Every structure is written in C-alpha cells, then in structure tokens.
C-alpha cells in the first residue's frame, strides 16, 4: 500500500477524505469560537445602537426631565452602594467559611459542607428576594431602629428608620448572602491546594493551626481570594431581582442605609420599568444597561488580570 495520498483505485480509508474531514471539523470548531466573539461584540454594538437615541436626546425627553446623566447617576450610585455593602460583608465571612471547610471541620463533614455551599449558589435570585422581603426585612426592623437610636451620628444610620425593613442595608445583606457561595467556593478550592510542604514547614516550627493558616494558607491564596471577591462584586452589581423585590425606592443619592427612601440600582430599575416603557424611555433604560455592562466588564477584566499576573509569578 502506497503512502501517497493519491492512491490508485478505490481510495483507501484516509488520504484525501481524511484531510477534508480534519479541515471541516477544525473549521467548525474555530467557527464556534468566532461566533462567541461575534456575539460578545454584538452585545456591545446593539446596546450602543439602541442606546444612542437616548444619548443624543434632549434633556427633557429623558424621564425625570434632567438629562441622561442625572437619570443614570443615582442608579449607578445605588448599584455601587448595594454591591459595596455586599462585598464588605460577604468576603470576610466567605474566607472564614472557606477556612472552616478546608482546615477546621472534620474531613468527612468538609465534603458535605462544600456541597451545601454549592447548593446555596444554585438557588435562583428571586427566591432570595422573596425571603428578604418577607422574612429578613421585617425581622430586622428592631435592629434598624436600634441603629437609628444609637448610631445616627454615622451618615449610614441617620434615619428615619424604616417601618417595613425594605432598606438598602437589607438589600446589601441579601446580596452578600447571594455572592457568599461563589467567593467561598473559589477560596476553599485554593486553600485546599496550599502545598503540604508549606503547611508542614510552618507546623514544624511550632506554629499553632491559626498561625500556620496566617503564615502559609492566606498568603498563598491571596490573589485567588481577591479575584473571587471581584467576581462576587461583579455578580452583586448585576443582581436584579432581589433588589427589585426588596428595595423600597423613592429617593436619590444618599448614604442612609436604613430608611425607605433609597435610590434604585440600574438592573432593578430596568427590570421594573421596562415592561411598561416605550420610545425614548426604552432607549434610556438600555443606555443605563450599557453603563452597567461597562462597569462589570471592567471589574471582570481586572479580576482576570490579577489572577493571570499571579499565575505567572
């Protein structure tokens, strides 16, 4: 049998057919990859196209009558505020829970626990929203009132305290609960990968368990934890339904966390207003979506860059 591809007679298996098969298959595969990039470009392009009328419209055509920037700014503020609360609350707890699973809990419990945390991540956001408004909000009224009474010198708690519990503080806490699983899962996975020789080295010096964790596990996982936190931040920024259900919206920019007069978030605002909107209102909402997209894009790219830089080191 000749090795030449142009074999005489009926072509044996292989040869030209094989080359064609390989070419077609790899073309389809790279086509799929290309399609994804096109989709992403499309997301950006279509958004800009549909947002353009709002960007170029006159100020009084925008809802609120004061122009696009004054419309979007309180929403952006609310988005950032809620996400900030979520990250500040969630990250320390997530690190602690991850350490608990990786180093404190008995090994057999640990597997079950990470399972539970993963299940937490799977719960749809609307359910967090319902729970927040029905359970957590009302249960927190007492605590929020207490905060107003005793700590109103802080701008965060300057009151008047809510009577329904539907405040930015509660929204932030619910968001924290929602991003907890993903930050925990990533942190836990990197903590368990801390090389044994590092940990044993610390213990051999006579370090207690906590000291070993502080000396080896935490520094080893530092960049992964930062990156996980940023992913959690990205999730919190984009979270819609929990905010849409829980938050009582009536106000503009304020740092007051415990009152019922709150700015909405970009995502929640879109979700609530879109079904009833038309014309320039829709374009305005899409423009605000563009802002949100840009913010989350930047955060995600930064998270990726951090993790890539650390890996190279």
Partner 1 sequence: MTTSPGAVVQAAAKTVEVTDLNLYYGAFHAVRDVDMRIEPNRVTALIGSSGCGKSTFLRSLNRMHELIPGARVEGSVVLEGEDIYAPNVDPTAVRRQIGMVFQAPNPFPTMSIYDNVAAGLKLNARRMKKADLDVIVERSLRGAHLWDEVKDRLDKAGMGLSGGQQQRLCIARATAVEPEVLLMDEPASALDPIATLAIEELVQELKNRYTIVIVTHNMQQAARASDMTAFFNLEASGKPGHLVEYDTTEKIFSNPEQKATEDYVSGRFG
Partner 2 sequence: MSIGDERRDEPVTQPKEAIPRAAPPAVDVPVPTVVRQRPPAARPSVATGSLPPRAPWLVLAGVAVAVALVLLLIGFNAALFVIATAVVTGIVIYAWSRAVEGRRKATDRGMTVLITCAFGIAVIPLASLLWTVVSKGVARFDPAFFTETQRGVIGAGGGAAHAIVGTLVIAGAATIISIPIGIMAAIYLQEYGGKGRLARTLTFFVDVMTGIPSIVAGLFAYALFAIFLGPGIRLGIMGSVALSVLMIPIVVRSTEEMLRIVPNSLREASYALGVPKWRTIVKVVLPTALAGIVTGVMLAVARIVGETAPLLITTGVVSSMNWNPLDGRMQNLAVFAFNEYKTPGVPPEPSFDRAWTAALVLILIVMVLNVGARLLYRRFGTELR
Query: Is residue 8 at the binding interface for partner 1, with CB under 8 A as the rule?
Result: no
Q: Which of residues 219-238 bind partner 2 (CB under 8 A)?
A: 231, 234-235, 237-238
- Name the binder of 245 from partner 1, partner 2, none, CB < 5-8 A by kind: partner 2
Which of 224, 245, 249, 258 lies at the binding interface for partner 2 (CB under 8 A)? Answer: 245
d(Cα 59, Cα 138) in Å, to the nearest integer? 39
Q: Which of residues 6-25 bind partner 2 (CB under 8 A)?
A: 14, 18, 21-22, 24-25
Binding region for partner 1 (CB under 8 A) out of 10-18, 233-241, 243-251, 260-268: 10-18
Choose which of 3, 39, 204, 313 interacts with partner 1 (CB under 8 A). Answer: 3
The distance of Cα 280 from the centroid of its chain, to the nearest Å, equals 29
Which residues 159-178 are close enough to bind partner 1 by CB under 8 A?
Answer: none
**By C-beta, is 158 or 296 nearer to partner 2?**
296
Q: How far apart are CA 158 and CA 136, in angstroms?
A: 21
Token pair recorded at residue 215: 């000396």
Quick check: 14 binds partner 1 (CB under 8 A)?
A: yes
H-type helices in 123-265, by residue range?
A: 125-131, 137-151, 168-192, 196-204, 209-212, 218-238, 241-246
Least distance between partner 2 and beta carbon 11 (Å): 14
Residues 185-214 that bind partner 2 (CB under 8 A): 208-211, 213
Piece in contact with partner 1 (CB under 8 A), picked from 4-12, 27-35, 142-150, 196-204: 4-12
Q: 3-class DSSP state for residue 2?
A: coil
Nearest-angstrom CA–CA distance, 235 and 249: 21
- Report the alpha-carbon distance of residue 194 to residue 219 in Å, rounded: 10
CA distance readout (Å), 1 to 63, 71, 261: 78, 76, 84
Residue 252, binding choice from partner 2, partner 1, none, Cβ under 5 to 8 Å by partner class: none
Find the shortest distance in angstroms from Cβ 23 to partner 1: 13
Helix (H, G, I), strand (E, B) or coil at 262: strand
- List the single partner that 30 binds among partner 1, partner 2, none, CB under 5 to 8 Å by kind: partner 2
Q: How far apart are CA 78 and CA 75, in angstroms?
A: 5
Binds 238: which of partner 2, partner 1, none (CB < 5-8 Å by kind): partner 2
User: What tokens appear for 79 in the block?
Assistant: 């988005």
**Measured from the CB of residue 270, what is the shortest distance to partner 2 in angstroms?**
5
Report the partner that residue 197 touches, choosing among partner 1, partner 2, none (CB closer than 5 to 8 A by kind). Answer: none
Q: How far apart are CA 295 and CA 238, in angstroms?
A: 10
Tokens of 123: 């719960």
197 binds partner 1 (CB under 8 A): no
The residue among 16, 218, 211, 4 whose CA lies nearest residue 102 is 218
Report whether 95 contacts 187 (CB < 8 A): yes
Residues 17-36 that bind partner 1 (CB under 8 A): 18-19
Which one of residues 61, 80, 84, 136 is an interface residue with partner 2 (CB under 8 A)?
Answer: 136
| Residues in binding contact with partner 1, number by CB under 8 A | 12
CB 191 within 8 A of CB 221: yes
The total number of residues shown for the chain amounts to: 313
Give the residue from 279, 181, 291 showing the smallest Cα distance to 231: 181
Summarize as ranges the residues that interact with partner 1 (CB under 8 A).
1-6, 12-15, 18-19
């Amino acid at each position: 049998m000749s090795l030449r591809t142009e074999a005489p007679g009926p072509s044996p298996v292989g040869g030209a057919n094989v080359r064609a098969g390989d070419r077609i298959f790899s073309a389809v595969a790279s086509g799929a990859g290309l399609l994804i990039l096109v989709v992403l470009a499309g997301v950006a392009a279509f958004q800009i196209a549909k947002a353009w009328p709002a960007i170029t419209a006159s100020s009084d055509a925008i809802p609120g009558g004061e122009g696009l920037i004054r419309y979007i700014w309180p929403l952006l503020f609310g988005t950032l505020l809620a996400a900030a609360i979520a990250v500040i609350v969630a990250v320390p707890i997530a690190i602690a829970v991850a350490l608990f699973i990786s180093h404190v809990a008995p090994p057999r419990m640990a597997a079950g626990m990470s399972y539970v945390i993963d299940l937490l991540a799977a719960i749809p956001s609307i359910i967090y929203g319902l729970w927040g408004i029905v359970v957590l909000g009302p249960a927190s009224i007492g605590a929020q009132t207490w905060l107003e009474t005793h700590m109103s010198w802080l701008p965060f708690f300057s009151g008047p305290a809510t009577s329904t519990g539907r405040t930015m503080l509660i929204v932030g806490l619910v968001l924290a609960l929602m991003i907890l699983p993903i930050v925990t899962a990533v942190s836990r996975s990197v903590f368990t990968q801390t090389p044994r020789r590092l940990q044993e080295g610390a213990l051999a010096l006579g370090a207690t368990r906590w000291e070993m964790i502080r000396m080896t596990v935490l520094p080893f996982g530092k960049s992964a934890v930062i990156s996980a936190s940023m992913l959690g931040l990205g999730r919190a920024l984009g979270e819609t339904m929990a905010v849409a259900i829980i938050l009582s919206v009536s106000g503009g920019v304020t740092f007051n966390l415990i009152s019922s007069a709150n700015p909405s978030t970009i995502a929640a605002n879109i979700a609530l207003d879109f079904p009833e909107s038309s014309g320039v209102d829709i374009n305005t909402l899409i423009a605000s979506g563009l802002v949100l997209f840009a913010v989350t894009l930047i955060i995600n790219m930064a998270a990726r860059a951090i993790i890539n830089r650390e890996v190279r080191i």
